[in-house]
Structure 1
Amino acid sequence: MSYTPPRRSDGTIKHVRAKLPWPKDRLFRILSIDGGGIRGLFPAAYLAEIERRFLGGASIAKYFDMVAGTSTGGIIALGLATGKTAREISQVYTDRGE
């Protein structure tokens, strides 16, 4: 008699995402942001400075096909993906970070 313990994923709807075509002559640009707790202020501030100097204040996210991160870098990536600028995200860290 064998016992298989329940898994956390039991009952989860599983599906495979369809592969989307990507032009062979176009690079896939990824912005990856590292974590680091409240030190996430550094990558957010750095990206904000790039936006200010080179992009006229526009969000850097629109220059990438994918934005990803780990830990606090993931939070920054989510903010960028929802249309916020790095300056706005940096301000959140300044106002609410401890």
Structure 2
Amino acid sequence: MPPPDRPVPDLAATCGATVRAVQDLDPIERAAVVLVYWHGRTQPQVAADLGIPVKVVRRALTRGLRRLAEQVLAGESRLGEAAERTVVSRRRRP
């Protein structure tokens, strides 16, 4: 368990932010990311499933993962700030 003066990220909030970030992806990006990373499909399998070229799947994965990283990192920054405020408010308690 981390020391009490160190911010602890809220796992539920982090998971929720990740799900919202996935939902915000373009439909092809979302399908590619979910099928490859959650369902373990290969890029050629995803291409066949979606009826698109493998090159489009690769592009969708690249763009989708980049957008996810940006959104999740931005969310972690906000979560970190919230956690820091919580730690500071706990220190002020008698």
Work out whether the TM-score is over 0.5: no
Could you state the TM-score of these two structures normalised by the residue count of structure 2? 0.23
Greater share of residues in helix: 2
Could you state the TM-score of these two structures normalised by the residue count of structure 1? 0.22
